[in-house]
């Protein structure tokens, strides 16, 4: 067969074949290429490299891969079928015979026991995670299919470090409508979540120099320790900002270059930043030449109050607005965004780099479709109702079984803070652990440099209302009430003189 006749079917054959590595370096020996192919296949079966039942590539595919004629492969297959090494059936292809035993038996396999999986808690009431069972699989799948079908070819090439324009345009409209954010698509940079945003803003650049922003950074006296550790690793000093019932004390801002706030729903203590303090922090940023980092924590989940707009809307050039779908959809998606002042866009894109490991482009397109189609709004409204119901069940259970425990921070968000009698936080967390309940003590979130005078420490636990699945939530509440400390006993002095006392 001439080369032109072979090449006429090489390309289509490669498209339909399966890979099979064979060494035909001895094809110059007795019998030529056919004999070399027969020996190579026989040796692969004998050694066990081709296990019984393995399907071999079609004649055309293997011939194309090896650069030999199709009839050569067909003849080799036929010889091995006749010898009993292979079987050939109509519609099933050519396979290694089930009774073809390796000449040299492989060492007896000793079953290797997988390491025991760490047993999770019986009742997971940790904060910060949505109900994983409520992920909108059908709606997300529909958006993913549409995104894949409609994606232009350029999607499958090198991407834009800012993120897909379709998602940035969808976010521009959604954030303006739902959160009061003022921006344009070119000022949005897609990232994989809040922690990634912090790394881009404060991490070293590719030349080893400083990040886009530098410390010191003012942070709320209560917040996620993980974020403080991340910043410390980047060489950024954090300064605790006192908190009270109106949120962060903006009047205590001084020489810091930036401030990180959760103004929609302070984490973990709860409550929005007071309007006067929202204005005050913008005034500070203007006067100081600083910048406000707005973590839109739980911004979409409010129950007993009107929506609280973003601080960014007060001055888009002084606020970096950071959000994600980690609470509204799932942290597994790793989808977030930064809405940047104009002067930071170029530096953030430079920090991200041309070949940075971006968020999946198809996930970006899927989220864009999910938002534009209205599925995201419907999902958020549905989950808002579900989480409000769970919040109400928690409050009712405490009113019945532990009325002495005060519940705070429940007007919005996915968690609540249970205020405990003084000196009982550590023992309560320990008792919960013994009973298989996962939750967090309030003290874990306090900044290590926060002073008692500025932000008095109070005993409490942080309870996630969203983490358990719907069917497991009732049992989790019952277990929680069983580990709460009893009401404080009145001291002898307090009981003296009361009506009916002895």
For 48-169, where are the E strands, in sequence order?
A: 86-89, 93-96, 123-124
Percent of the residues in the chain that have a pLDDT greater than 70, as a whole number? 85
Tell me which of 465 and 300 has the higher pLDDT: 465
Cβ-contact 383, 396 below 8 angstroms: no
pLDDT at 28: 53
Mean pLDDT of the chain: 85
Measured distance CA(479)–CA(209) in Å, rounded = 51
Predicted confidence (pLDDT) per residue in 406-443, tens digit = 998 888 888 999 999 999 999 999 999 999 999 999 99
CA quadruple 448, 449, 451, 457: dihedral, nearest 10: -10
Cβ-contact 118, 405 below 8 angstroms: no
Tell me which of 54 and 91 has the higher pLDDT: 54
Residue 122's nearest CA partner among 435, 478, 477 is: 435
With residue 107 as reference, give the H or E element that holds it. none
* Torsion region of 69: left, alpha or beta (phi above 0 gives left; psi -120 to 50 gives alpha): beta
pLDDT at 50: 86
DSSP annotation of 249? -
Predicted confidence (pLDDT) per residue in 336-378, tens digit = 999 999 999 999 999 888 665 668 999 999 999 999 999 999 9
What's the chain's length in residues? 502
Measured distance CA(213)–CA(217) in Å, rounded = 9
pLDDT at 498: 41
Cβ-contact 467, 124 below 8 angstroms: yes
Which residues lie across from 336 on neighbouring strands? 191, 324
Lowest mean pLDDT among 113-122, 299-308, 351-360, 399-408: 113-122
Neighbours of 481 (CB within 10 A): 15
Predicted confidence (pLDDT) per residue in 25-73, tens digit = 765 556 688 888 888 888 888 888 888 888 888 888 888 888 888 898 8
H helix and E strand count, the chain: 15, 17
Lowest mean pLDDT among 200-209, 308-317, 394-403: 200-209
Predicted confidence (pLDDT) per residue in 220-234, tens digit = 999 998 899 999 999
Predicted confidence (pLDDT) per residue in 181-197, tens digit = 999 999 999 999 999 99
- Residue 502 — pLDDT band, cuts 50, 70, 90? very low
Residue 179's nearest CA partner among 33, 323, 28 is: 323
Predicted confidence (pLDDT) per residue in 443-477, tens digit = 999 999 888 777 778 899 999 988 888 899 999 99
Measured distance CA(95)–CA(52) in Å, rounded = 8
Q: Which long-range contacts (CB under 8 A, 24 or more apart) does 344-347 make?
A: 344/212, 344/291, 344/320, 345/186, 345/187, 345/189, 347/212
pLDDT at 492: 55
pLDDT at 205: 52
Cβ-contact 248, 396 below 8 angstroms: no
Q: What is the pTM of this model?
A: 0.79
pLDDT at 255 over 60: yes
pLDDT at 239: 94
Measured distance CA(437)–CA(109) in Å, rounded = 40
Cβ-contact 108, 63 below 8 angstroms: no
pLDDT at 490: 57
Joined together, the tokens standing for residue 11 give 């390309």
For 214-288, where are the E strands, in sequence order?
A: 217-220, 238-241, 243-244, 247-248, 258-261
pLDDT at 206: 47
- Residue 274 — pLDDT band, cuts 50, 70, 90? very high
Residue 14's nearest CA partner among 56, 57, 55 is: 57
Predicted confidence (pLDDT) per residue in 18-33, tens digit = 677 887 776 555 668 8
Measured distance CA(46)–CA(53) in Å, rounded = 14
Mean pLDDT computed over 140-158: 93
Which residues lie across from 324 on neighbouring strands? 336
Joined together, the tokens standing for residue 30 give 């007795």
């Amino acid at each position: 067969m001439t080369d032109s006749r072979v090449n006429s079917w090489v390309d289509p054959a490669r498209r339909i074949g399966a890979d099979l590595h064979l060494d035909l370096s001895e094809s110059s020996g007795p019998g030529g290429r056919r004999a070399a192919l027969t020996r190579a296949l026989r040796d692969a079966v004998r050694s066990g490299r081709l296990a019984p039942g393995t399907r071999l590539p079609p004649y055309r595919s293997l011939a194309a891969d090896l650069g030999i004629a199709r009839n050569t492969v067909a003849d080799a297959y036929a010889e091995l079928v006749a010898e009993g090494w292979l079987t050939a059936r109509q519609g099933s292809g050519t396979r290694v015979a089930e009774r073809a035993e390796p000449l040299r038996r492989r060492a007896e396999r000793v079953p290797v026991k997988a390491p025991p999986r760490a047993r999770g808690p019986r009742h997971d009431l940790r904060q910060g995670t949505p109900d994983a069972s409520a992920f909108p699989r059908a709606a997300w799948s529909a958006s993913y299919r549409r995104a894949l079908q409609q994606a232009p070819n350029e999607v499958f090439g090198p991407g834009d470090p800012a993120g897909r324009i379709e998602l940035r345009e969808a976010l521009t409209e959604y954030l303006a409508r739902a959160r009061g954010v003022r921006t344009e698509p070119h000022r949005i940079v897609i990232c994989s979540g809040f922690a990634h945003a912090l790394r881009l803003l404060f991490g070293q650049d590719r030349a080893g120099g400083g990040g886009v922003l530098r410390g010191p950074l003012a942070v709320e006296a209560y917040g996620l320790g993980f974020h403080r550790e991340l910043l410390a690793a980047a060489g950024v000093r954090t300064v605790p900002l006192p908190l009270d019932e109106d949120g962060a004390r903006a009047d205590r801002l001084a020489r810091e270059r930036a401030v990180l706030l959760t103004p929609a729903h302070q984490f973990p203590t709860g409550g929005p930043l007071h309007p006067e303090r929202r204005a005050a922090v913008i005034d500070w940023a203007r006067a100081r030449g600083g910048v406000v980092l707005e973590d839109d924590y739980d911004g979409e989940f409010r129950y007993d109050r009107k929506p609280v707009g973003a601080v960014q809307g007060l001055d888009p050039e002084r606020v970096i607005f950071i959000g994600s779908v980690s609470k509204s959809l799932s942290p597994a998606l790793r989808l977030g965004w930064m809405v940047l002042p104009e002067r930071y866009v170029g530096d953030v894109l430079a920090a991200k780099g041309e070949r940075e490991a971006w968020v999946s482009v198809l996930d970006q397109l899927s989220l864009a479709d999910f938002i534009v189609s209205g599925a995201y709004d419907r999902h958020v409204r549905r989950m808002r109702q579900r989480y409000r119901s769970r919040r109400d069940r928690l409050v009712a259970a405490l009113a019945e079984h532990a009325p002495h425990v005060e519940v705070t921070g429940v007007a919005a968000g996915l968690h609540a803070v249970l205020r405990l009698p003084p000196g009982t936080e550590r023992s309560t967390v320990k008792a919960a652990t013994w009973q298989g309940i996962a939750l967090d003590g309030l003290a874990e979130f306090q900044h290590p440099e926060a002073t008692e005078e500025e932000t008095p420490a109070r005993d409490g636990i942080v309870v996630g209302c969203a983490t358990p699945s719907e069917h497991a939530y009732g049992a989790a509440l019952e277990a929680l009430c069983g580990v709460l400390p009893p009401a404080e006993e009145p001291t002898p002095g307090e009981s003296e003189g009361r009506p009916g006392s002895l």
